Structure 1
Amino acid sequence: MTDQPATSATSPAVPHAGKFYVIESSFHGGGKVPGIEIANRDRLWAPGWAVMLPPDGDPNQYPETPHLVQVPEKGGMPRDLEELAGIWIVSERAKQVFESVDPEGFAFAACDFTLADGSSGPQYYLCGVVRTLDALDEETSKLRVKTGDDYVNGKFYSLAGGASLVFREEVVGSAKIFMTPYSGDEVFCTRMLRDALKSAGLTGVGLTDAAAC
């Protein structure tokens, strides 16, 4: 297993600022977490897996409807984007923004949502990013590239300690959201999706310029 930097000697990543972003659920702060749980998470696991997988577009992926429950002692009502057990949970309006910008980039699974008083809560969805592109330009990016049999696909892009990422736009093409084969669960988006999310005023969305992340 090796750990080596991928840096450019001639072409800094700074000119690429503002083109691509790391997108994730933002921290609540103060040690808080969303006041929800997936009540039937253990029954949604895929055969052979010890974890629940995000939606992949198969309408029969889960044996039953995901069931969110409100847990006020844990935190407040969910924002437009939350993350539980490594899976995005999004509101109706977040889903609408995602689908309006890049309908082929996402998969959703509608959830039942029971509030603490037993009534039905607003509509939320499990959300998965279903596009993977080998789009990172390793030669002009600045990050640590870890290689070895311990990593999925034999390689891992580590953003720990800071990184400056450059993506090959000819590979990204018309995509507005994507993951890479070597970035684990990191998700990247273009400025167009970032601007749409900002314009909609969605809560809980964390966006970091990939050129300085």
Structure 2
Amino acid sequence: MNEEQMNKVDPPKGRFYVLGPDMGASGRGHGVELDNEEEIPWPTYMSEPSEIGGLASLSVVPKLRFDSRVGDMPLDLQGGFNGYWLVSQPLKDVMEKVDAEGFAFAKCAFQLEDGSEGEPHYLCEVTRILDAIDEDASSVKILDGYQNGKYYSLSGGGKLSFKATEVADSHVFMDKHSGSRIYCDRVFRDALIEHGFGTVINPRGVWIEDAAGY
């Protein structure tokens, strides 16, 4: 750690959060297979600048199939579906209520083991990609040689601060130098907690951590 880093003031806590699936959830994991994965385009953040990627370019209905031999029924938020999240109807409702312009959704055909249709589930992507992290006010590893020139790594921890003018009134967003990592503000975080997502006792698949002290 150099002198500049030692003298840097820590970002204020409670303003922005890292948001994602709860990777530490108990149980066997989900037993949902995406049968037509090869027909699902890559998310926008994984596409080349000249490509039209993401759910905006989706031309088929995502087909989900539940197999209890593989795992349990999905939580309200699950990751790993060709780069997208899988979200339940209740979680989608909260997301859209707080920041409808920040997301794209695609309703899935969800087949249960008896052949019946499961509860509504959606592939979800965050469509708002900003250059949001304030390097001068953050403590974060900066790696070179990535698609957008650099990558902010939180391996080993980090303390992130964000540019107020860039974030503006956005409640959820990705950062162009953070890969698949998703951030949200206090408004979005509080709405999730209010509706029972991301709580300590039963997070329902939602993991939230303060970006100022990751």
TM-score by length of 1: 0.86
Letter in structure 2 aligned against 1:176: H
1:118 and 2:115 matched? yes
Cα distance, 1:33 vs structure 2: 2.0
Could you say which residue in structure 2 is the equivalent of 1:212?
213
Q: Between Structure 1 and Structure 2, which shows a larger proportion of helix residues?
A: 2
> Is 1:20 aligned with 2:16?
yes
Shift of 1:62: 2.1
Distance in 2 separating the partners of 1:69 and 1:126:
14
Shift in Å, 1:75:
1.5
**Alpha-carbon shift at residue 32 of structure 1 (Å):** 2.6
| Equivalent-residue separation in structure 1 for 2:178 and 2:187 (angstroms) | 22
Q: How many residues align?
A: 198
Aligned to 1:179: 174
Cα deviation, 1:118-144, whole Å, max 9, x if unaligned, reads 111000000000001111110110010
- Structure 1 stretches of 5 or more lacking a match? none
CA deviation after TM superposition for structure 1 residue 45, in Å: 3.6
Residues 40, 67 of structure 1: 8 Å contact kept = yes
Q: Which residue of 1 aligns with 2:143?
A: 146
C-alpha contact 2:17 2:183 (8 A) present in aligned 1: yes
Q: Contact (CA 8 Å) 1:91, 1:124: kept in 2 or not?
A: yes
Partner of 2:50: none
**Aligned residue in 2 for 1:157:** 152
Tell me whether 1:196 sits opposite 2:191 in the alignment: yes
Do the aligned residues in 2 keep the contact of 1:8 with 1:139 (CA within 8 Å)? no
What is the root-mean-square deviation of aligned Cα atoms in Å? Answer: 2.2
1:108 is aligned to 2:109: no
Identify if the C-alpha distance between structure 1 residues 185 and 108 changes in structure 2 by more than 3 Å, giving closer, same or farther: same
**1:108-161 alpha-carbon deviations (Å, 9 max, x no partner):** 00101000111110000000000011111101100100112xx01111100100
* Residue of structure 1 equivalent to 2:94: 97
Which stretch shifts more, 167-176 or 31-40? Answer: 31-40
CA 1:30–1:98 in 2, change beyond 3 Å: closer, same or farther? Answer: closer
Identity over aligned pairs, percent: 39
Relative contact order higher in (CA < 8 Å, ≥ 6 apart): 1
State the alpha-carbon separation in 1 of the partners of residues 155 and 24 from structure 2. Answer: 21
Contact 1:8/1:140 (<8 A) preserved: no
Per the normalisation by structure 2, the TM-score is 0.86
- Distance in 2, Cα, partners of 1:39 & 1:119: 16
**Compared with structure 1, are the counterparts of its residues 29 and 102 closer, same or farther at alpha carbon in structure 2 (3 Å cutoff)?**
closer
* Cα drift, residue 43 of structure 1: 2.1
